[in-house]
Chains A and B, each alone.
Chain A
Amino acid sequence: MAKILVIDDVPGVRRSIVGVLTRAGHEVEEAGDGLAGVELARRARPDLALVDMLMPEQDGLETLDQLRQEGLCGALVAMSGGGALVGAQDALAAATHHADASMNKPFENADLLALVSKLVKAGP
């Protein structure tokens, strides 16, 4: 049972992640952009944050860096739509240096739950 923050600009994605994690017993907060997400993290100090890499406003890498620098989350996961030609895949590759793990969307519910368990158990 962990406190998790989801930062993604697509409402359908947020609803899916919130639904899956809540059903598994976790406490989930959500934000639609990086700025709001960091604000939330300051108040909530989540165990884990899931951050989309390609968002308008503050981009994913900046958000990850800010969360890490301010020590706001236990663990950080970078998410991406996994488009391979350019952009999304590069963003995800870059994110591996800024996050503890990465996930390509759309991911399986079971994979998300397994990753959360692993990272939250590992601790800071």
Chain B
Amino acid sequence: MLDHRTYPAMEPDAALLAAAVEASDVCVTIADLTTPDGPLIFVNRAFNDMTGYERCDVVGRNCRFLQGPDTDPEAVAAMGAAIKSGRSLRLELINYKKCGEPFWNSLHLSPLHGPDGAVRAYVGMQSDVTKVRAAAAAEQHRQRIEALGRMAGGVAHEINNLLQPLVSLPELVAESLPAEAVGAREDLRVIGQSARDARDLVSEVLTYTRVAQTGSRPLEIEAALSGVLELVRRGLSGRVEIVQQGKAPEGARVAGLSRAGLQQALTNLILNAADAMGGTGCVTVRLGGDEASVTLAVLDQGPGVDPDAAARMFEPFFTTKAPGAGAGLGLYIVHQLVERAGGVVTLCAAPGGGACFEMQFPRDRSGADQE
């Protein structure tokens, strides 16, 4: 504890101050810099809550016990440099709980000076910002996908503008040619036809990807599922089996998702799964959920998704297939459909090493039903 003879006299309500530090949800630590290696001499209750370490585990030790394999050495070096020169420092770094679990620690270190002006101690304030960082990263990822989608839409618009003269002008030129110019007229016809084919191709790629409308009323997923899967089965080769498993919470409904949207999402996921398995095997569609959400997962028996691909797989036009084998829009569509219903789609590991794509939707609590 602080030595009242060495530090300036405390305010009369020192007990309240101490109680406040104990009550805080922000970790407070004090390291004694008058002792070699700067051991911790105080940690508050929040430190125990955040890290799992008890006071007796840590008092007397330098706080580097919180560091581990993924802790950035540069962050550690920055801390050391700040402490050596008696400066304040604020940074975020990976620390480890007593149980070994890593977390992002937002750390604010401040020097405590003694009456002689030298630094006697360091006060540290820490909080776990793992979730905040993950949310920020997810938001950035989402914005990147949106930007790519907008760019793709913009490119289509530009291509269509560029095609207009190729569709319109050949006819006008042909009209002004003499009757004998059969070959020239044919050339012009070919130009026009080629432009129309290009127009149709652009339209096909982008129309196929047009995300289904949301529908006006919440969808009861479990009731809709078997009918939707029937339609999906019809589009598959006979060698892929679709198995439905699990249950959603009774009467669980999802807003912002239509039957057509559910079909579009499942079709894309199941086609991917079938491809991953080389066109034969079993795809499992599993329902689940709780009070707050409904989950729908698609699992396959394929080789799983490569980690490098996993980072980019929801981007429009990203594909690991050979050119021509797919536009790389399937997962982008799934992502857009799920997000529009307020949900998230994530890749998890399936037992046996295949891929598992899980869509999690928040449950709708308003009164209306969709038939």
Decide yes or no whether B67 CB sits under 8 A from chain A.
no
Decide yes or no whether A20 CB sits under 8 A from chain B.
yes
* Closest chain B CB from A119 CB (angstroms): 19
Q: Given A16-B169, A23-B172, A109-B171: A83 and B155 within 8 A (CB)?
A: yes
Scan residues 1-59 of chain A and give those whose CB is less than 8 A from a CB of chain B. 8, 10, 12-13, 15-17, 19-20, 23, 54
Decide yes or no whether B168 CB sits under 8 A from chain A.
yes
Q: Given A84-B153, A84-B210: A12 and B161 within 8 A (CB)?
A: yes
Q: Given A15-B169, A109-B171: A87 and B150 within 8 A (CB)?
A: yes
**A84–B167 CB distance below 8 A:** no
| Bound CA–CA A17/B165 (angstroms) | 9
- Of B199-207, B287-295, B360-368, the stretch lying at the interface with chain A is B199-207
Give per-residue flags for B135-160: 1 if the beta carbon is below 8 A from chain A beta carbons, else 0. Answer: 00000000000100110111111111
Decide yes or no whether B280 CB sits under 8 A from chain A.
no
* Closest chain B CB from A13 CB (angstroms): 5
| Bound CA–CA A105/B162 (angstroms) | 9
Decide yes or no whether B209 CB sits under 8 A from chain A.
yes
Q: Which one of A10, A82, A85, A108 contacts B167 once the chains associate, using CB atoms below 8 Å?
A: A108
**B168–A82 CB distance below 8 A:** no
Residues of B within 8 A of A54 (CB): 154, 157
* Closest chain A CB from B162 CB (angstroms): 7
**A81–B166 CB distance below 8 A:** no
Scan residues 174-219 of chain B and give those whose CB is less than 8 A from a CB of chain A. 175, 195, 199, 203, 206-207, 209-210
Q: Given A105-B161, A105-B163, A106-B195: A83 and B156 within 8 A (CB)?
A: yes
**A81–B158 CB distance below 8 A:** yes
Q: Given A84-B153, A84-B206, A85-B206: A13 and B172 within 8 A (CB)?
A: no
Closest B residue to A11 by beta carbon equals B165
Q: Which one of A8, A16, A23, A85 contacts B152 once the chains associate, using CB atoms below 8 Å?
A: A85
| Bound CA–CA A109/B173 (angstroms) | 13
Closest A residue to B163 by beta carbon equals A106
| Bound CA–CA A104/B158 (angstroms) | 12
Closest A residue to B208 by beta carbon equals A84
Scan residues 84-117 of chain A and give those whose CB is less than 8 A from a CB of chain B. 84-89, 104-109
Residues of B within 8 A of A16 (CB): 164-165, 167-169
Decide yes or no whether B304 CB sits under 8 A from chain A.
no
* Chain A residues packing against B (C-beta within 8 Å): 8, 10, 12-13, 15-17, 19-20, 23, 54, 80-89, 104-109
In addition to A15-B165, A84-B156, A85-B152, 4 A-B residue pairs with Cβ atoms within 8 Å of each other are: A83-B206, A87-B154, A105-B163, A106-B195
CB-defined A-B contacts under 8 Å, sample of 20:
A12-B161, A16-B169, A17-B164, A20-B168, A54-B154, A81-B158, A82-B203, A83-B153, A83-B155, A83-B156, A84-B203, A84-B206, A84-B210, A85-B152, A85-B153, A89-B153, A106-B168, A107-B167, A109-B167, A109-B171
* Chain B residues packing against A (C-beta within 8 Å): 146, 149-150, 152-169, 171-172, 175, 195, 199, 203, 206-207, 209-210, 316
